[in-house]
């Protein structure tokens, strides 16, 4: 039996991505109602994911899943972190600001982080996971795939930026891919327990 899992986003692209990652989980994923907006007031990725999952579950009376992600640069003490999406108006502005703030710093290690939370219909957090992908910030963009900070995020083990990878390659090593993969057995277990 499938069960509805409301994704705490109004972005159809994010829904499609989650559907692809969780295709083997047995759950039927759907978008949250457009008018239901949850502000990301948390100070950590985990806090924001839990907040969004919990609010959407309570408001819809269904199980809900939410993620929160961003880029944390070591030499900037973890910035932009939870402010990754609010670091500028456009992807180009966000990248330009990050490169400006890093300047000619030689230590360019960084990590993408993704926290995922699943809440039961009463809003209680039932499952959580986190995925991390380490890499380096280049001094200029390379590649034109992906989105966000992808063109400046270089993964040494692949010798490619996220923007130079195929979606499959990125999925296999990305923060989001790792966080969602870790959740599949737990989602399967909840489904068998619930039905």
The residues binding ligand IMP (CB under 6 A) are 67-71, 84-85, 94, 112, 146-150, 162, 174
HEC string of 32-52 equals CCCCCCCCCCCCCHHHHHHHH
Closest CA to 14 of 65, 59, 48, 57: 65
Residue 118 pairs in a beta bridge with: 65, 127
**Residue 133 contacts residue 112 (beta carbons within 8 Å):** yes
Q: Which is nearer to ligand IMP, 81 or 123 (CB)?
A: 81
Q: Quote the least distance from Cβ 192 to ligand IMP, whole Å.
A: 29
Shortest separation between residue 69's beta carbon and ligand IMP, angstroms: 4
Q: Which of 68, 91, 104, 144 is catalytic?
A: 68
- The least CB distance from residue 145 to ligand IMP, in Å, is 10
In the bound state with ligand IMP, the residue whose beta carbon lies nearer, of 26 and 78, is 78
Strands (E), the chain: 3-7, 27-31, 63-73, 109-119, 125-137, 153-155, 160-161
Torsion angle defined by CA atoms of residues 70, 76, 78 and 83, in that order, rounded to the nearest 10 degrees: -40
144 has catalytic annotation: no
Element at 55 (helix H, strand E): helix 45-60
- When CB distances to ligand IMP are compared, the closest residue is 148
**Least distance (Å) from ligand IMP to the CB of residue 194?**
27
Please identify, using beta-carbon distances, which residue of 115 and 190 lies nearer to ligand IMP.
115
Which residue, 33 or 185, has its beta carbon nearer to ligand IMP? Answer: 33
Active-site residues, by number, are 68
């Amino acid at each position: 039996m499938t069960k509805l899992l409301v994704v705490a986003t109004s972005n159809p692209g994010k829904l499609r991505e989650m559907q692809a990652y969780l295709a083997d989980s047995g759950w039927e994923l759907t978008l949250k109602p457009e008018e239901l907006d949850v502000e990301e007031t948390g100070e950590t990725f985990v806090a924001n994911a839990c907040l969004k999952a919990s609010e959407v579950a309570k408001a819809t009376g269904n199980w809900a899943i939410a993620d929160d992600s961003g880029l944390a640069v070591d030499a900037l003490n973890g910035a932009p972190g939870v402010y990754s999406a609010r670091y500028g108006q456009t992807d180009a502005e966000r990248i330009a600001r990050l490169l400006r703030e890093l300047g000619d710093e030689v230590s360019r290690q960084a990590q993408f982080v993704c926290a995922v939370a699943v809440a039961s219909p009463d809003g209680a957090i039932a499952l959580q996971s986190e995925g991390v992908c380490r890499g380096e910030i280049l001094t200029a963009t390379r590649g034109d795939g992906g989105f966000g900070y992808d063109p400046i995020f270089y993964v040494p083990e692949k010798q490619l930026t996220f923007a130079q990878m195929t979606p499959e390659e990125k999925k296999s090593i990305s923060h989001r891919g790792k966080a969602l993969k870790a959740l599949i057995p737990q989602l399967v277990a909840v489904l068998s327990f619930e039905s």
